[in-house]
Structure 1
Amino acid sequence: MLTQSPNPKLENDPKATGSLLYRPRRLRRTGALRRMVRETNLTANDLIYPLFVMEGEGQREEVPSMPDCFRFSLDLLLQEVKAVRELGIGAIALFPLIPPSQKDNAGTESYNPNGLIPRTIRAIKQAVPDLPVITDIALDPYSSEGHDGIVKDGIILNDETVAVLVKQALTHAEAGADFVAPSDMMDGRIGAIRNALDAEGWINVGILAYSAKYASAYYGPFRDALDSAPKFGDKKTYQMDAANAKEALKEVELDIAEGADIVMVKPALAYLDVIYRIKERTNLPVAAYNVSGEYAMVKAAAQQGWIDEGKVVLETLTSIKRAGADLILTYFAKDVAARLQASRN
């Protein structure tokens, strides 16, 4: 609540007081003063680094629509993960590039215990055991249809999909994931996964729920990275309408009631108001995903010399945290963490 001056008529009236009573610029005068009173401080530990993994050895492929962002084979991914740990980044999130020959409408490869993601989890946990690993729970990377669920007659089946997502989550838990992150937006999947994890003894495996995931145009480069674009239609029957904010609160409430440990908003920049509303309603950690389209636009503008990339990225991520996000998934995580580390030295 704003406090009122005891005598508003004298407030900042030079004739009445001989000087300005309030000079906000006093606190902006030097860098040291600005840092001392800064309301929002971004740290490397606030960041989660999304990583793309693929089959093979010695492979490092740049994603064409995401400059400086790469797909890694497992051997090179481990080198990247060790560098991430040294920078103090809070966690990594894994996303797989699945060969077309392993895709089908039922997403059966998603719960293969010897599949790409389970093998990657085990290797990371052996190499860097204290780095939290978050895994994506959804069918679109594994689906021949490119959708987040099983398709029948052009309709995305909810309950049949949830049954597969449960198998996928259990497989990732068995491999050593710290958090599973259902990104599919099927109804009831958080409760089903929580119940299954608990029943199998994985009570310490957390759920980071994509609670408010919007049907957004900002996902294009990500779908290029994983070759996971839908083969027909769009995702508007399960992802949220961009016009809705109250609905996001309902989705969050449902996910919390079903056992979510962290709730997330995706994308971030066009939905800062949603992040703020959710943070006002819950004491759970709130995450936000600074998605591929947001990343690509900054990179494109920087390559043209129109903006200072480093400054824009820091301002962008600070705005997401200021809106209420406790954690930020961002492809800029490694660069930002390095900048923050250098600024302390």
Structure 2
Amino acid sequence: MSFPDIRPRRLRTTPALRRLVEETRVAPAQLILPMFVKEGLTAPRPISSMPGVVQHSRDSLRKAVVEAVQAGVGGVMLFGVPETRDETGSGGLDPDGILNVALRDVRAEVGDATVIMSDVCLDEFTSHGHCGLLAPDGTVDNDATLEAYARMAVAQADAGAHVLGPSGMMDGQVGAIRAALDAAGHTDRSILAYAVKYASSFYGPFREAVESALDGDRRTYQQNPANLRESMREVALDVAEGADMVMVKPALPYLDVITRVAGTVDVPVAAYQISGEYAMVEAAAANGWINREAAILETLTSIHRAGAQLILTYWAVEAATLLRARY
């Protein structure tokens, strides 16, 4: 028997042909830029472990968000870094705390031109660095923390956040926040649930960015990297509690998890390309070991191909520019 001369390489012969048959394509509007705003700064402060990323002042944050809008980025996620902390993380609930002030600044600057997201978690504001309130024995008190998250989410919605992002991995956090938002009249505000957040070794640079006071780890509430079934249970619970979107964090080490989640839920799926993922590429590129821009786009494509509709990435603005030039 004779067979046709099958040559898959025919579809790879020119850049134009490769673009034509490309199966996965990331769009700027799918990218979300995480941003840090530090109380008391008068100028941006570089983060040493994340080259190109800064702690913003209030003024530089406003300007940077405008740049993100102009680049076509789909949204921004704000994290606050206070000057002082306490045991209960009260600065995160204070309407005049740095995160809520920054949310008002950004909403006044760009309105609805981009999606403004905020981190609903106490870790940046607590003197012990944990994501929740501590019980007398030093463990994180889940249910007491839910009350704080509910108040924090309402304060952020009042300040102008379109989307609330509970990241602390407390049981029942989505339901508590949804109920509080609805009771406060914020029925139109969305919840992006950090449904799958692993106790990862790749968070180190982020902790520098937020000046974390954590001593120890978060393994009693963040997930075991070895577990997948547990992750699917977490996702199902968050959707049942009212999550409008769900997220997997980190991204690249957990592409299989992203695929499983995307194939299971009927809400948008996000993935967070975290600080350690960013720092590894930047370090390798700085040493001349890899092509930096190609690596940025390759990582984003792989995350989208795995099933993430939305990607939080510190390269959002740069990647949006690269993508527009490419297509």
TM-score under structure 1 normalisation? 0.92
**In 1, Cα distance between the equivalents of 2:29 and 2:114?**
11
Tell me whether 1:262 sits opposite 2:245 in the alignment. yes
CA RMSD, 1 decimal: 1.1
For structure 2, the 5+ residue unaligned runs are none
1:124 aligns with 2:110: no
Determine the C-alpha separation between the residues in 2 that align with 1:335 and 1:252: 31
Please say if residues 82 and 97 of structure 2, whose CA atoms lie closer than 8 Å, have aligned partners that are also in contact.
Answer: no
In the alignment, is the contact (CA less than 8 A) between 1:263 and 1:285 conserved in 2? yes
**Alpha-carbon shift at residue 23 of structure 1 (Å):** 2.0
Letter in 1 for 2:97: G
Asked if 2 retains the 8 angstrom alpha-carbon contact of 1:50 and 1:92, the reply is: yes
| Superposed CA offset, 1:202-248 (max 9, x none) | 011000000000000100000011011412x2100000000001111
42-51 or 114-123, which moves further after superposition?
Answer: 114-123
1:303 aligns with 286
Contact 1:57 1:75 in 2 (8 A): no
Q: Contact 1:183–1:210 at 8 Å: present in 2 too?
A: yes
1:238 maps onto 2:221 in alignment: yes
Q: Which protein is bigger by CA-based radius of gyration?
A: 1
Partner residue in 2 for 1:88: 72
- The counterpart of 2:257, out of the listed 271, 274, 298, is 274
Q: Report whether the alignment pairs 1:30 with 2:21.
A: no
| Match among 145, 151, 161 for residue 145 of structure 2 | 161
Contact 1:87/1:341, CA 8 A, preserved across alignment: no
The answer for unaligned runs of 5 or more in structure 1 is 1-9, 11-15
Q: Which residue of 2 aligns with 1:224?
A: 208
Question: How far 1:57 moved relative to its partner?
Answer: 5.0
Counterpart selection for 1:139 from 122, 132, 138: 122
Aligned twin of 1:201: 185
Q: Give 3-state SS (helix, strand or coil) of 1:281's partner.
A: coil
Distance across 2 between alignment mates of 1:204 and 1:35: 39
Partner residue in 1 for 2:92: 110
CA distance in 2, matches of 1:81, 1:216: 29
- Give the secondary-structure state (helix, strand or coil) at the position aligned to 1:81: helix
In the alignment, the residues of structure 1 paired with residue 91 and residue 295 of structure 2 have an alpha-carbon distance, to the nearest angstrom, of 39
Contact kept, 8 Å, 2:47 with 2:209, in 1: the verdict is yes
Displacement of 1:59: 1.3
What amino acid is aligned across from residue 102 of structure 2 in structure 1? T
How far residue 35 of structure 1 moved from its aligned partner, in angstroms, is 1.2
Alignment deviations for residues 288-319 of structure 1 (CA, whole Å, 9 cap, x no partner): 00000000011111110111110011001100
Identity %: 47
Mapped to 1, the partners of 2:47 and 2:299 lie a distance apart of 22
Q: Work out whether residues 85 and 131 of structure 1, in 8 Å CA contact, stay in contact via their aligned partners in 2.
A: yes
Aligned partners of 1:45, 1:299: CA distance in 2, in Å? 23
Q: State the SS of the aligned residue for 1:186.
A: coil
| Correspondent of 1:248 among 219, 223, 231 | 231
